[in-house]
């Protein structure tokens, strides 16, 4: 057996497995308790690792909390690889991206973690900034880069790609976030998909060369 085959059989490196276990444990605890009540000792116990191991992956509790949120937000681009040259027709890419974005908004765990950020923002103003820089801004940049490539290929005509990305996500978000935050009845998945389709159609009519 070659070394490559041996590595393949072993699966993911233990450090990566421990990283995922720590993030999963933190995510679970942060959605059940307030930020203040979740200790790194509790996360270590839930993840089955030592506190030293946590510090080998995350510099502090704030970084771990942001990673826990990112674990829920990271699947926004889960159905499509925006960096792939064969990601698919732009209509389908935008539709799937918009639907996944709304699914993230409606995720109860993501909603609770987002509420924690807001409640902690005065005592820990670094949390919102870290969340914005490492998740919101990063995801928007990935989307903007995709739109830039589509523009360079002549498929769409846009101005500033990052602004265009923000406009699309804001349009897709619509009033849904307010409904979630206010605890109001929400639309069904089919209704959300139909709404996203209208957003894609509207914007592509404006973006087409």
How high is the mean pLDDT in each 10-residue block of the chain (209 residues)? 40 76 91 88 94 93 86 64 79 93 82 81 84 85 93 93 95 87 84 95 93
Give pLDDT, residue 77: 62
For 2-13, how does the pLDDT look when each residue is reduced to its tens digit (9 = 90+)? 343 344 444 556
67 lies in a domain? no
Q: Which residues contact 82 (CB under 8 A, 6 or more apart)?
A: 93, 97, 142, 143, 145, 146
Q: 134 and 53 in one domain?
A: no
68 lies in a domain? no
Domain that holds residue 146: 75-207
Q: 84 and 175 in one domain?
A: yes
Closest CA to 65 of 27, 36, 32, 34: 27
Q: 53 and 139 in one domain?
A: no
Count structural domains, the chain: 2
Q: 107 and 49 in one domain?
A: no
Give pLDDT, residue 183: 80
Q: 85 and 49 in one domain?
A: no
Q: 88 and 139 in one domain?
A: yes
Q: 169 and 84 in one domain?
A: yes
Q: 137 and 43 in one domain?
A: no
Q: How far is CA 119 from CA 114, 124, 137, 192, in A?
A: 9, 9, 21, 28
Q: 10 and 87 in one domain?
A: no
Q: 201 and 149 in one domain?
A: yes
Give pLDDT, residue 172: 94
Q: Which two tokens stand for residue 193?
A: 């998909």
Give pLDDT, residue 150: 94
């Amino acid at each position: 057996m070659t070394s490559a085959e041996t590595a393949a059989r072993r699966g993911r490196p233990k450090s990566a497995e421990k990283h995922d276990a720590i993030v999963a444990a933190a995510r679970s605890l942060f959605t059940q308790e307030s930020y203040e009540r979740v200790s790194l000792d509790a996360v270590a116990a839930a993840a089955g690792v030592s506190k030293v191991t946590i510090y080998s992956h995350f510099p502090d509790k704030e970084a771990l909390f942001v990673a826990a949120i990112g674990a829920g937000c990271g699947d926004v681009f889960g159905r499509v690889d925006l960096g792939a040259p064969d990601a698919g027709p732009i209509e389908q890419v935008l539709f799937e991206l918009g639907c996944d974005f709304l699914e993230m908004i409606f995720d109860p765990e993501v909603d609770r973690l987002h509420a924690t950020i807001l409640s902690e923002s005065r005592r820990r103003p670094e949390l919102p900034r870290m969340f914005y820089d490492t998740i919101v801004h990063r995801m928007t940049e990935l989307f903007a880069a995709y739109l830039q490539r589509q523009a360079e290929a002549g498929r769409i005509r846009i101005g500033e790609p990052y602004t265009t990305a923000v406009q699309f996500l804001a349009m897709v978000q619509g009033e849904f976030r307010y409904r979630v935050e206010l605890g109001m009845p929400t639309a069904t998945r089919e209704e959300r998909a139909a709404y996203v389709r209208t957003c894609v159609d509207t914007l592509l009519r404006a973006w087409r060369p």
